[in-house]
Structure formats: structure tokens, C-alpha cells
Amino acid sequence: MTVRVPKWLVWAAAALAVVGSIALAFAWGRSSGGDDPGGAAGRPAEAAVKEAVCSKPMAESATLETAFDDDIRAASAAKAHLEDAHQSEVPFFSEEQTDYQVAILECADLTDDGAAEMVVGLAAGASGRVFQWAIFSPDRDGNWFLAFDRTLIGASSLEIQGNSVAVRTATYGLDDPLCCPSGYKTSLVAYREGEFRVVSPTAPPPERLISIEEGTVTRLGLLRPLEVTPSQAVAAFGTPTAVSHYPDAACTYGWGDLGLKIVFANFGGGNPCGEAGRIGSFELIGSAAEQAGWHTAEGARVGSSSAALSRLYPGAVRSGEEMLLIDAPSPYGFDGTIDIATAFLADGEAKAYRFYIGAAGE
């Protein structure tokens, strides 16, 4: 007996077979990656970043609604404690021009995502100098978040150069008045590998290492601190951004772009600013020190938590906002100890360090 199948049923079955084959091939392609080795065909496209409003009111709002203002307060508190000085609270965006005001505002796409970043520099004081600045980026909803900031470093200007922020800083010689620096240096901050970084100048880790052995600081970068003169420090770290010769027995060199300050001294009557000067102590402070990469051999950095420091230095002793990490017997012939490495804390983090050398040209 011959069974006759209607033509329409044959065509329907064929069509279903073709559709099934296509579906199977599609499923196989998704499971194996197909011709796309990264499996991109199976991933949804990333949503575009929404443009945020870049304006002075938004710069003020972003400063107060992110951690930027907290970073400024914490760094200022640590600096005051480090210098044993009274901290004066500076209000933000009041009607007094000596309080923090937006002095620099630049808007540009620094991350190549199609949405502009906001570069903000804050000035305070009668001079109107910028000592705090930040980069804010928009999130996918068009709200600003803090992407990078620098505290406690005087910037003469902030300029957009391509996709980088060029930070121009005044440099001073020994006799330069505050009004009239003898030169300037420029560093660059750019977006690299998912974050903003200082890309010029840069230094490998050994150049930012601090080593302490048997109660003596034996390394400051590539230098041996007991033997370093001011000219050798300048050769290693570049032209200083601040120099002062007060009191007469001391000479202080500061590199604000590195968060480094060195106090040279000579208690034997020699010139501490000349070849007779030797390091009495040095300090690391602020976000510039953190971004420069300064670290001890044990792993302490600016930004380390007090809990982390306690793990790194089990014998550390905390007193208020100071944490003594390392001490050593006094070398001056009397009982007691000398503080070799001390961390200065704010909000539970080390915002500054002081290291004692004690060479002082004696």
C-alpha cells in the first residue's frame, strides 16, 4: 500500500529541520565561542558613560560629596601634628575669599570614554595659591566621583595637555623670596591601566625605598642618609620646591612633588646648606608621597592603616595620633631611646612619617 504524504507537510518538516539546525549551530557557537575567541557575541555591549555637568557649582558639590574634602582635612591635620603646630580649620566655599575657593576648573575627556573629566584646583589664603587639586570622573549615571587627588602641594598651574594634566610647580633656590621662584618643574598625571597615575617623573621601587637596619636608616632611595649632603640630595631628587634656612643650624629642602622634606643640620658651626650639612631627619607627607611610591622595606606607606602598621611592626606603640614604629638606644651617652621612625595618623591611616638620621655634621 502506498501512503501519500501531502506536499505541504513535507515542506513544513523541511523547514522545521532547517530551523532546528540553525538553532543547534547557534547554541554550539555560544557554548564554544565560535569564531569569536573572546566570546564577544555572547556579551552585552557596555553602556556608555553619561556626560556630567562640569561647572563651578558642580565642582564645589563634588568636593564636599566625595572624599576630597576629607583628604584635605586629614592631610592638614597630620601636617599640623607633624610640625607640632595648631591646626586651623579652613572652611570650604564661604563668602570669605581667604577660605577654600575653586580657583582652577578644566573640563576634558582624559580617559577616552566620550565623557569629560573635571579638573579642580582649590585656593585658600591671601596669596590665592592652589595647594589641593583633584580629578573627578563621571559614573554611568552622570554623577561625579573622585578619581585622583593631591593635597599639600603648591601648584602654579594645572593645564590639559592631550589626555594628561600638566602640573606646574615653582622651584626655589636658597635666596629666592616666596613671590619670585627661580624656576618651575612640570609633572604629568594621566589615565593608565584603569586609574590616574603620575607618569612623569617616575621612578622604579628601589628609588623610593627606605631601609632601617639595627636602629639606623640605611637607605633613602638610592642614597646612604648618613653621608648625604644637600647637593647630593638635589642631584637625586631634582630641584626643590621649597628651601628655608631657619634656624641658622638647620637647612630644610622640600620636594612637594615627591611629598619629601629633608632637614639638613650642622651643630658644629658649619653651613648646613653647604657641603658641611648632613641629614638630621626627613619626612614624608600627603598624597604626593603616596603617589611617588615611598615605602619601607617592611611595606609601610603613606595611606597604610594603623592596623596594617601594627602587623608590620609588632612592637609599635601608639599614643594618640602618633605611632612609634622603631626606636633605638640613644647614641648620646644617656639612658633612653631615640624615635627612629614615627607615623602620624589621621582617620586611622598614616598620612605622614618622620625618620630620624641624626648625622647633623657633628
Domain that holds residue 79: 56-200
Residue 217 included in any domain: yes
Q: What confidence score (pLDDT) does residue 306 get?
A: 97
Residue 324 included in any domain: yes
Residue where a domain stops, chosen among 145, 170, 200: 200
Residue 6 included in any domain: no
Claim to verify: residue 182 and residue 213 sit in the same structural domain: no
Q: What confidence score (pLDDT) does residue 46 get?
A: 54
As given in the structure block, the three cell numbers for residue 326 are 622603631
Residue 49 included in any domain: no
Claim to verify: residue 107 and residue 212 sit in the same structural domain: no
Claim to verify: residue 65 and residue 131 sit in the same structural domain: yes
3-state secondary structure string, the chain?
A: CCCCCCHHHHHHHHHHHHHHHHHHHHHHHHHHCCCCCCCHHHCCCCCCCCCCCCCHHHHHHHHHHCCHHHHHHHHHHHHHHHCCCCCCCCCECCCCCCCEEEEEEEEECCCCCCCCEEEEEEECCCCCCEEEEEEEEECCCCCEEEEEEECCCCECEEEEECCEEEEEEEECCCCCCCCCCCEEEEEEEEEECCEEEEEECCCCHHHHEEEEECCEEEEECCECHHHCCHHHHHHHHCCCCEEECCCCCEEEEEEHHHCEEEEEECCCCCCCCCCCCEEEEEEEEHHHHHHHCCEECCCCCCCCEHHHHHHHCCCCEEECCEEEEEEEECCCCCCCEEEEEEEEEECCEEEEEEEECCCCCC
Helix 68-82 vs helix 56-65: crossing angle, to nearest 10: 60
Per-residue model confidence as pLDDT tens for the chain (362 residues):
333 444 333 334 444 343 344 333 333 333 333 333 333 333 234 567 788 999 999 999 999 999 999 999 999 999 999 998 888 889 999 999 899 999 999 999 999 999 999 999 999 987 778 999 999 999 999 999 999 999 999 999 999 999 999 999 999 988 898 889 999 999 999 999 999 999 988 899 999 999 999 999 999 999 999 999 999 999 999 999 999 988 788 999 999 999 999 999 998 888 999 999 999 999 999 999 999 999 999 999 999 999 999 999 999 999 999 999 999 998 776 778 999 999 999 999 999 999 999 876 44
Claim to verify: residue 235 and residue 326 sit in the same structural domain: yes
Q: What confidence score (pLDDT) does residue 44 get?
A: 36
Say how many C-beta atoms besides its own lie within 10 A of residue 354's C-beta: 19
Claim to verify: residue 303 and residue 352 sit in the same structural domain: yes
Claim to verify: residue 240 and residue 147 sit in the same structural domain: no
Claim to verify: residue 62 and residue 134 sit in the same structural domain: yes
Q: What confidence score (pLDDT) does residue 248 get?
A: 82
Please answer whether residues 262 and 278 qualify as being in contact, where contact means their C-beta atoms are separated by less than 8 angstroms.
no
Claim to verify: residue 152 and residue 281 sit in the same structural domain: no
Claim to verify: residue 158 and residue 108 sit in the same structural domain: yes
Q: What confidence score (pLDDT) does residue 333 get?
A: 65
Residue 67 included in any domain: yes
Please answer whether residues 252 and 273 qualify as being in contact, where contact means their C-beta atoms are separated by less than 8 angstroms.
no
Residue 37 included in any domain: no
Q: What confidence score (pLDDT) does residue 182 get?
A: 92
Claim to verify: residue 223 and residue 116 sit in the same structural domain: no
By DSSP bridging, strand 322-329 and strand 216-220 are: unpaired
Residue where a domain stops, chosen among 142, 172, 200: 200
- Number of structural domains, the chain? 2
Claim to verify: residue 186 and residue 214 sit in the same structural domain: no
Residue where a domain stops, chosen among 183, 200, 217: 200
